[in-house]
Amino acid sequence: MPEQPAGRSAGYPLHTRLDAYAERYAARTRGMKASEIRALFAVASRPEVVSLAGGMPNIGGLGLEALGETIRQLVVDSGTSALQYSSGQGDPRLREHICDVMALEGATAHPDDVVVTVGSQQAVDLVTRVFCDPGDVVLCEAPSYVGALGVFSGYECEVVHVEMDEHGLIPEALSSTLTRMSAAGRRVKLLYTVPTFHNPAGVTMSAARRGEVLHICQAADVLILEDNPYGLLGFDVDPLPTLHSHEPSRVVYLGTFSKTFAPGLRVGWAVAPLAVRDKLVLAQESATLCPPTFSQQVVARYLERQDWQQQVKDFRLLYHERRDALLRALDEYLPAASWTVPDGGFYVWVTLPDHLDATAMLPRAVGERVAYVPGTAFFADGGGRNQMRLSYCHPTPERLVEGVRRLAGVVEAERELQAMFGSTSAPRRPGGYQRPHPDVG
């Protein structure tokens, strides 16, 4: 488990002298380190551990017999093209389908503006590659998606966090951060945001705030990178218009089939203004020649031949039920904590009492057969020490309840220890968006 936060400003880990290649690496490798989530995968995948850590979607219900037959037909009738090199921008038919998928959230996009990527992770990589020089500032929510923080750090950007609350990014905090950056002569290249069903915070940016955030970015001439992997997985809410649909010239939009279909295909996409799209295609060609042709054609066939919208509805019900189970268990077992109440997506963000350290507590939690991601993973500046992300996407409702029960035992033991011996860490200021008590289900 790394002890340093992910950000550049926090100091580079030293290359060990045992590494004969240490003197050869590029400067950017100092910003590449194993994330806390990745290091957890080995532990959390043991069957006796209830993993509230991973963000793996629940693809058990996909209907594998029918899917297998659909793919068999694809290979037999179109194998010579489906298994060949293809366009760096991505399959034209798939790009049309992507626009139809986006329309379900009220978004308008043209197939020409779409670039297919190896999951939306690669889209974050390519956008950063196109826009960010070392030392450029990227604004991110506090907390922010760990995979994006890793990309920004790998491109030697400085991540500056902007506070959020239960209605998402706080416009006043965005304004004051931009003013501060400008006064310091820093160049802000991107605002990276997950406005809907946030990972890890589980909150959604309100409609009013979307307008305000766009207005502020327009005035400050800052480009927005809108990452929307969970938008179709809302529970009882209508989707809010994406930032991209408000102002397409100001936003690079990212989507993915990882959560609505299957992540192992690694098919995501970016939608960008034409000039930016051209750069992204060049970056994609340089990175991979072309994104996987076969994966793209599998997705296109699936969308054409199977009732994927019903499948997404089924996913919604499944995740809704699990969210409810998790929230009920938190209410029952962890009254000392506070947490967010997601209207969709995979995650609940939990804030423990100030004096508890979720990172230090993790090995004891794993010893009690429950895993989570400590809050520090989602900050580049050392924030989030008494916070954690709990995922409800993969375990069954019963396992979720059992996981929270185990977690509560660990938290309780920790509190007793501290009551006996005193806190070992300094008291911390409260985070930006702790809710005293959640609405349950």
Site for a second copy in 25-64 (CB under 8 A): 25-29, 32-35, 38, 41, 56, 59-60, 62, 64
> How far apart are CB 207 and a second copy at their closest, in Å?
27
67 counts as binding a second copy under rule CB under 8 A: yes
> How far apart are CB 67 and a second copy at their closest, in Å?
6
Q: Which is nearer to a second copy, 159 or 290 (CB)?
A: 290
Among the listed ranges 78-86, 101-109, 170-178, 341-349, the one in contact with a second copy (CB under 8 A) is: 78-86
In 3D, which of 40, 227, 248 has the Cα closest to residue 122? 227
> How far apart are CB 282 and a second copy at their closest, in Å?
4
Among the listed ranges 79-87, 211-219, 238-246, 355-363, the one in contact with a second copy (CB under 8 A) is: 79-87
312 counts as binding a second copy under rule CB under 8 A: no
Residue length of the chain: 441
Amino acid letter at 256?
T
306 counts as binding a second copy under rule CB under 8 A: no
- Rounded CA-CA distance 329/341 in Å is 13
User: Where in 140-179 is the site for a second copy (CB under 8 A)?
Assistant: 147, 150-151, 154
Q: Which is nearer to a second copy, 87 or 144 (CB)?
A: 87
User: Where in 197-256 is the site for a second copy (CB under 8 A)?
Assistant: 223, 249
User: Applying CB under 8 A, what is the total number of residues that bind a second copy?
Assistant: 84
Cβ-based neighbours of 13, under 8 Å, separated by 6 or more = 2, 4, 30, 33
Among the listed ranges 66-74, 96-104, 335-343, 368-376, the one in contact with a second copy (CB under 8 A) is: 66-74
Q: Which of 100, 112, 285, 412 binds a second copy (CB under 8 A)?
A: 285
Q: Which is nearer to a second copy, 153 or 242 (CB)?
A: 153
Amino acid letter at 127?
V
Q: Edge-to-edge, what's the strand order for the sheet holding 168-169?
A: 114-117, 268-271, 251-256, 223-227, 188-193, 137-142, 158-165, 168-169
Q: Which is nearer to a second copy, 38 or 430 (CB)?
A: 38
Binding mask 404-423 for a second copy (x = CB under 8 A): --------------------
Binding mask 82-111 for a second copy (x = CB under 8 A): xxxxxxx-----------------------
Q: What is the DSSP string of 58-107?
A: -GGGS-HHHHHHHHHHHHHHHHHHHTS---TT--HHHHHHHHHHHHTTT-
- Rounded CA-CA distance 10/195 in Å is 27
Q: Which is nearer to a second copy, 256 or 338 (CB)?
A: 256
- Rounded CA-CA distance 247/409 in Å is 48
**Do 2 and 36 form a contact (C-beta atoms < 8 A)?**
yes
Q: Which is nearer to a second copy, 287 or 360 (CB)?
A: 287
**Do 257 and 300 form a contact (C-beta atoms < 8 A)?**
no
Q: Which of 177, 293, 359, 387 binds a second copy (CB under 8 A)?
A: 293
> How far apart are CB 18 and a second copy at their closest, in Å?
8
Strands (E), 119-234: 137-142, 158-165, 168-169, 188-193, 223-227
Task: Report residue 256 as tokens.
Answer: 């993915």
Instruction: Quote helix, strand, coil % in the chain, to nearest 5.
Output: 45, 15, 40
- Rounded CA-CA distance 126/270 in Å is 9
* Residue 154 CA from chain centroid, whole number: 17
> How far apart are CB 122 and a second copy at their closest, in Å?
5
Binding mask 252-271 for a second copy (x = CB under 8 A): ------x---xxxxx-----
> How far apart are CB 87 and a second copy at their closest, in Å?
8
- Rounded CA-CA distance 390/388 in Å is 6
Q: What are phi and psi of 224, to 5 degrees?
A: -105, 135
> How far apart are CB 84 and a second copy at their closest, in Å?
5
Q: Which residues pair with 141 in a beta bridge?
A: 162
What 3-state DSSP class applies to 376? helix
79 counts as binding a second copy under rule CB under 8 A: yes
276 counts as binding a second copy under rule CB under 8 A: yes
299 counts as binding a second copy under rule CB under 8 A: no
